[in-house]
Amino acid sequence: MSIKVDIGNQVRQTVLPQWKPLLPLFEAVMNAFQAIKEADLPKNIPGRITIEIERAADLFKDETAPIDSFKITDNGIGLDDENFDSFNTAFSRRKVAAGGKGLGRFTWLKAFESAEIESVFRDADGSFLSRSYIFSESYDLDTAGLPKKIDSGVVGTTGHRKIILEFLERAIQLPNGEKPKYPLEEVVHSAGIVPPRTTRTRMIGR
């Protein structure tokens, strides 16, 4: 019998520094890097991470709609049973050697309402399986992410994360103390992620 974790309480106890509002996004990207490393891809297949910025519906055609969510896709190993078990284990030691503390996914929920995960992986006999679930404070590890067999697929994981706008409005301010019109725009651009309405793909060489 395993010990259950109150996710909502764990999120409340997780500290996200006010000056690092995009730390949960960087945590998710690091997961993608680690998945690609673990996949041990052939030399002729580069690792690939795609970060997409999704915007709210345009209210006025002459204005850029505010950022609503992020979608991160990689061609790493996927959420196989071992990785999924680690995901469901608070303070997992699986990534200790890489500096992981087993708390990154709780950090997600400090800035994102939820994380919608879709993953394709292979089992021991090479068959394709898929796993999808929504990680939020109401996440139930007893029913979430049950694998399903599929005929074929592209191994990797996609995570879609919807922003908690109230958190960002509280957390982000300009150097002069004022609040920007679209606070996340300032942080995303200063972090060098992408300019408005674009997608960036990172190719990882072998």
For the chain, the domains span 7-13+20-204
Rounded to 10 degrees, the C-alpha dihedral 160/165/168/169 comes to 160
Q: What is the mean pLDDT of residues 78-99?
A: 80
In the chain, the N- to C-terminal Cα span, in Å, equals 42
pLDDT over 70 (residue 180): no
Quote the pLDDT of residue 1: 44
- 77: confidence class by pLDDT, cuts 50, 70, 90: very high
Q: Give the pLDDT score at 129.
A: 92
pLDDT over 70 at 189, yes or no: no
Task: Give the model confidence (pLDDT) of 121-169 as tens digits.
Answer: 998 888 999 999 999 988 887 778 889 999 888 898 988 888 776 555 5
Find, among 22, 3, 10, 36, the residue nearest to 135 by Cα: 10
Stated pTM of the model? 0.76
Inter-residue contact 99 to 79 (CB < 8 Å):
no
Cα-based distances in Å from 125 to 38, 122, 128? 18, 8, 9
Least confident of 9-18, 104-113, 147-156, 162-171: 162-171
Token digits of residue 99: 């500096």
Average pLDDT for 6-29: 82
Q: What is the CATH number of domain 7-13+20-204?
A: 3.30.565
Inter-residue contact 83 to 49 (CB < 8 Å): no
Structure tokens at 180: 């920007």
